[in-house]
Chain A
Amino acid sequence: NAGVMQNPRHLVRRRGQEARLRCSPMKGHSHVYWYRQLPEEGLKFMVYLQKENIIDESGMPKERFSAEFPKEGPSILRIQQVVRGDSAAYFCASSATVAGDSPLHFGNGTRLTVT
């Protein structure tokens, strides 16, 4: 039973380019979450999605960032016109249900470096 799969593991982009991060949740999980981890900090919630719906995007920056979880295929976190401050590790997590007793299962993350 494969866990949460994220790719790529490492991504290097120049300032102004676009970054696309992919996440395939665990089999049977329909709830996907994106978190960002800055150096020496904990994880900060960004967005929570279910299939074809954004449920909570209260942690997403207002500009340049977007997320989707289509009916078919992985969830995508998209960062347009990247800046150096976007350099971080981006983690995806999935859960089976929305109930509080359904823990999050994390992927190994995508480490984005903006040069």
Chain B
Amino acid sequence: AQSVTQPDIHITVSEGASLELRCNYSYGATPYLFWYVQSPGQGLQLLLKYFSGDTLVQGIKGFEAEFKRSQSSFNLRKPSVHWSDAAEYFCAVGPPAGTASKLTFGTGTRLQVTL
């Protein structure tokens, strides 16, 4: 069964500092990988996705993520965090073929940004 682990429940960074949120997955083949962001009281917004090809993917709001097959990881990065980035971030994995229904989400990492 597929699973996603986000080992950091809560991270605090200073505005302007760099950010890396960790995500490890367990899946039998190369999955589809996603990062979503959720602001308080809101739904989830897609930041970026990886299906195939270049292992470094660029997303919205200056985020990027790198797929590392050898480490089963898909860590999210941003070189300089803004106060508006404070939110909860979810990594998700889906099967590579067919149904998008079986997205499996991690438990999330809550990002706090200090000024």
Interface residues of A (CB under 8 A from B): 4, 6, 31, 33, 35, 40-45, 48, 55-56, 91, 93, 95, 98-109
Contacts and interface: CB of A to CB of B under 8 A. Distances in A.
Interface residues of B, number: 28
B28 interface: no
Contacts of B44: 43, 91, 93, 106
B42 A100 contact: no
Interface in B44-60: 44-46, 49, 51
Given A48-B99, A55-B101, A95-B100, A100 B32 contact: yes
Nearest to B52: A101
Given A100-B32, A103-B34, A45 B101 contact: yes
B43 A107 contact: yes
B34 A98 contact: no
Contacts of A109: 42-43
Nearest to A43: B105
A39 to B, nearest CB: 11
B104 A45 contact: yes
Given A33-B101, A100-B98, 20 more contacts: A4-B43, A6-B43, A41-B108, A42-B4, A42-B105, A42-B106, A42-B108, A43-B105, A55-B101, A56-B99, A56-B101, A56-B102, A100-B51, A103-B46, A103-B100, A104-B103, A105-B46, A106-B36, A106-B44, A109-B43
Contacts of A4: 43
B43 A100 contact: no
Nearest to A48: B101
A45 B43 contact: no
A98 B101 CA distance: 8
